[in-house]
Amino acid sequence: MSPGKADAPRRRGSIAAEAAGPRVEVRKVLKIPLPKRREFQPKGITEMAACPPAPLVRVSRLVALILVGLAVSCARVATDEFIQICTSASSLRSPAQKRGIQIGAAVAAEPLRSEPRYAETLAREFSMVTPENAMKFGPLRPSRDRYDFGDADAIMDFAESHGLLVRGHTLVWNSQLPGWLTAKEWPRDELIAILREHITTVVGHYRGRVVAWDVVNEAIADDGSLDDTIWLRGIGPTYIEMAFRWAHEADPQAMLFYNDVEGEGQGRKADAIYARIQDLVQRGVPIHGVGLQMHLSLTKRPEPSHVMANMKRFAAIGLQVHITEMDVAIKGAATAGNLSAQARIYRDALGVCLSAENCKAFVLWGFSDRHSWIPHVSATSGSALIFDEAYRPKPAYNALMDALCGREAIRSLPW
């Protein structure tokens, strides 16, 4: 049997189905405010057994005693089941799915083809993948009239044959654009036609297969204004909602996300992202979630309580959040102290996601230090992921497992 087959997730709609029933109901359900949850309740513990709710009204002493007894034994069954899952867990994906989230990683087509250990680790540990570069505008569009789906299709085929969900990344961005597109200034109508055709073709190509799309990526500047991009200059601010509407037309079942960096916690950018997304929601633009990238380092990381508050305000307007690109760069040597500080940051971030009702996916930007974008942009930083260059699990891997299994992590967090 292929690695990962045994605990394969339901292929389509499992993110939504975890919380919201059949996938066809996703949009409708997400427009309904999410149910209020108890603040510190880790996902999964009580969700696993059909336990009755705690008594909410005064009942007779006898009935109360019976209910308490039932609740205690039910909780014990659920906890025992949970402990069993964790003691027998040989990968992150099974406890993650029991806790109601997908655990994922960005992947590259080349090592997937050429490195068996890369493919084995991916299929064993994760339930979701994001093509790191293969679905971006540039790689997909070598020329205006030619689409090259080779690498993206290879990742999609791998994912489907190993029971992994796919997050599509990304339809509209200002980076990794092809030369033919950036070489000239386009008349507004023509640029609109190019973008519409791109979104319709790409989302249509993967219709029914990509569970969530990062429709627009990194469109908001640090000061909260819209970033100066080819799309803003050529089309104007409406390009954002146009993109969401075209993506929705091309695949009405796909969940559509806005994805951004350094807006995970609190501050001007996080507030600007929230305000702009809230405006889209209020105007009926088909958007279902927000991606919090979470590119962190040992010295640059948001307060977990701030991330939690941010997630909650998106929940209040009916949106999911996904952690979409987490890594934690280490500057200098990967000493034992640095690795353990890194592990704590991973554990805290996953702890927040598990505690937030609307956080449904926790995706890393790669999984092995052998293939990480960090050393390409900073010669002195690296070791940002949860497996080392030889695919051995690092302390950060154990920290994620601990958070999933409720060991120590959740209770020690301050929110």
> Footprint of ligand G3I on residues 229-288 (CB under 6 A)?
261
Pick the closer one to ligand G3I by CB: 260 or 357. Answer: 260
How many residues bind ligand G3I (CB under 6 A)? The answer is: 9
In the complex, least distance from residue 132 CB atom to ligand G3I, rounded to whole angstroms = 5
Catalytic member of 18, 125, 132, 325:
325
Q: b/e for 83-95, b at 16 or more Cβ within 10 A? A: eebbeebebbbbb
Cis status of the peptide bond prior to 130, with omega within 30 of 0: no
Residues in contact with ligand G3I, shown as a per-residue x/- string from 202 to 231 under the rule CB under 6 A? ---------------x--------------
In the complex, least distance from residue 21 CB atom to ligand G3I, rounded to whole angstroms = 32
Q: Which two tokens stand for residue 171?
A: 């339809």
> Footprint of ligand G3I on residues 38-57 (CB under 6 A)?
none
Are 173 and 220 in contact, with CB atoms under 8 Å apart?
no
User: d(Cα 72, Cα 51) in Å, to the nearest integer?
Assistant: 9
Going by the DSSP 8-state scheme, the letter that residue 391 receives in this structure is S
Pick the closer one to ligand G3I by CB: 97 or 324. Answer: 324
Out of 325, 357, 369, 402, point to the residue binding ligand G3I (CB under 6 A). Answer: 325
Pick the closer one to ligand G3I by CB: 44 or 263. Answer: 263
CA quadruple 14, 20, 21, 24: dihedral, nearest 10: -80
Residues in contact with ligand G3I, shown as a per-residue x/- string from 366 to 395 under the rule CB under 6 A? -------x----------------------
In the complex, least distance from residue 284 CB atom to ligand G3I, rounded to whole angstroms = 27
Pick the closer one to ligand G3I by CB: 94 or 293. Answer: 293
User: d(Cα 200, Cα 171) in Å, to the nearest integer?
Assistant: 10
Are 329 and 284 in contact, with CB atoms under 8 Å apart?
no
Q: Mention every residue, 6+ apart, whose C-beta is less than 8 A from residue 36.
A: none
In the complex, least distance from residue 261 CB atom to ligand G3I, rounded to whole angstroms = 6
- For residue 307, CA distances in Å to 42, 340, 359 come to 16, 21, 11
In the complex, least distance from residue 356 CB atom to ligand G3I, rounded to whole angstroms = 21
Residues in contact with ligand G3I, shown as a per-residue x/- string from 164 to 193 under the rule CB under 6 A? -----------xx-----------------
Instruction: List Cβ<8 Å contacts ≥24 apart for 31-36.
Output: 31/318, 32/318, 33/315, 33/316, 33/317, 33/318, 34/315, 34/316, 34/318, 34/357, 34/358, 35/357
Q: Which two tokens stand for residue 256?
A: 């559509």
**If you search the block for the tokens 């979701």, which residue do you land on?**
128
User: d(Cα 292, Cα 270) in Å, to the nearest integer?
Assistant: 10
Residue 115 bears catalytic tag: no
Residues in contact with ligand G3I, shown as a per-residue x/- string from 281 to 310 under the rule CB under 6 A? ------------x-----------------
The stretches of 4-149 forming alpha helices (DSSP H) are 14-20, 26-31, 61-88, 93-98, 109-114, 116-125, 137-140
In the complex, least distance from residue 193 CB atom to ligand G3I, rounded to whole angstroms = 25
In the complex, least distance from residue 263 CB atom to ligand G3I, rounded to whole angstroms = 12
> Footprint of ligand G3I on residues 394-413 (CB under 6 A)?
none
Out of 14, 91, 127, 133, point to the residue binding ligand G3I (CB under 6 A). Answer: 133
DSSP of 274-289, one letter per residue?
HHHHHHHHHTT----E
Out of 18, 125, 132, 348, point to the residue binding ligand G3I (CB under 6 A). Answer: 132
Catalytic member of 18, 132, 218, 262:
218
Pick the closer one to ligand G3I by CB: 159 or 401. Answer: 159
Pick the closer one to ligand G3I by CB: 132 or 369. Answer: 132
When CB distances to ligand G3I are compared, the closest residue is: 373
Pick the closer one to ligand G3I by CB: 78 or 202. Answer: 202
Q: Mention every residue, 6+ apart, whose C-beta is less than 8 A from residue 179.
A: none
Residue 264 bears catalytic tag: no
In the complex, least distance from residue 371 CB atom to ligand G3I, rounded to whole angstroms = 9
Q: Which two tokens stand for residue 24?
A: 């066809």
Pick the closer one to ligand G3I by CB: 167 or 394. Answer: 167
Active site residues: 218, 325
Interface residues toward ligand G3I, by CB under 6 A: 132-133, 175-176, 217, 261, 293, 325, 373
